[in-house]
Structure 1
Amino acid sequence: IQFGEDQVVDGVVNADIIPVPRSFEPPALWIPQEFDNSPGGGVWSDKSWGPLGNQFIHTSYGKGWVYHFHPHEANGVTQGSMIAFPFQFDAGIQRATVNPADKQIYVTGLTGWDDGVASKYGTLNRIRYKGGEGHLIKDAEVVKNGVRLQFNFELDKEKCEQAENYKVSQWNYKWTSNYGSSHYSIKHKGEKGEDTVIVKNVFLSEDRQSVFLEIPDIKPVHTMRIRFEAYGRDGVKIKDVVYLTINTIPQKGIAF
């Protein structure tokens, strides 16, 4: 961007002359500070990485963990979801890269500011795929009238179709010059706070690896958070949290 002489005072852009944009292209994902207050960059995993192969793996300097991001296109707009890995590093991490020799992901870590979880000043870690499938939530996607959660294992129908196992909240942010933003209600415009989202019904897919959360009043929102408990047919129980950004509501539905 080039500025005229009248637009710069003592080497600083004059904010009274340069108009502040009133809008922006919506990001594919808003990251709340409770999940990642300082992203550290990411990398695509190798296709040999089992159930998490060929996926975008992102790091958090602020929280000292990694998470996988799942983009989806709807009505010509990209939006997505993110899910954290179930382990904690000893420092804020960044600089993720795939080693061409062993196809594993390596990350560096350090501490210095805004990384309260750190217990060491510097680290070098390998995230290694050991084989097998495990028990993972592998995707979360907004669809017409709700959200679909996909897993890589078969679910227990009776337990996973209980709506009380899914706690859903949502909120927006305010675009300002401040560092970060409070959470703002969708239902009560301008008021601070989070909205509770009612899950009307839960339906298990025919292959028993997906659930559809029916949310009749689903709307575009900066952040939707889904806390859930999932139960496998083999008796395994997992508890996890998914964050989604909903820029638009797709027209396609889900048949169960």
Structure 2
Amino acid sequence: MNAGKDSTRVRILTAAEQLFVERGYHATTLQEIADRVGITKPALYYHFDAKADILANLLDPMTSELEHVLDQAFAAAETGGVAAAREVLIPGWLDVFLRSRGTLLALVRELASTPSGAFDRAIAAMERAIVLCAGPDAGVAEQVTMAQVVAAITDPVALMPHLRTDVLREHLLAGAWRLLGEPGDAPRPARRGGGRPRSLSAEDIALARELHASGEHSPESLAGRFGVSRATLYRHLKT
């Protein structure tokens, strides 16, 4: 009896996820879910109280898996430090998200229901950015890397509201260049307008010194590349 109940619950969740992806969460009705499963609407209510309950049951396993990976990463950090934690966390989280692609896609599709096609325009702009910066002859590896860069310079804006805009911008750009494998050759935007001059991170200082020591880069070119004044660059080179 319990096995049959569990089987029906799984079928309901599977059907709901498919419909959420196809039609969006708000546009999907409980009756449509019941019809897709082949049961009555009252029978569906026997398993789930509301549509929100179905969505929660789709998200809960993913969240639990993420928490499990976090626990493993914390354990790894106790013996191996940050590097060991990353080795567990990054591939672990990726695998969880890949297993939950349907649920994640359903949530993204839901955002697409915003009025005036705003979400579609935003997605189209990001797709154009990926194609443009990956290059016309880019393979899968280049396209995925560029998609990672686009995510890397957008997601933290929402996830880290406590950081100042100038600090967040500096580190987002540095991270993007690292993803592209161009920490030394990528042009750094110069500061525009007035306000506080841009400061160099410890990583930028080390890189500037290395490039200057190579003899292939003048202080003036390095100042422009890192978006600081020549005086600021000279001060760090002499320190």
TM-score (normalised: structure 2): 0.23
TM-score (normalised: structure 1): 0.22
Larger Rg: 2
Q: Which has the higher strand share?
A: 1
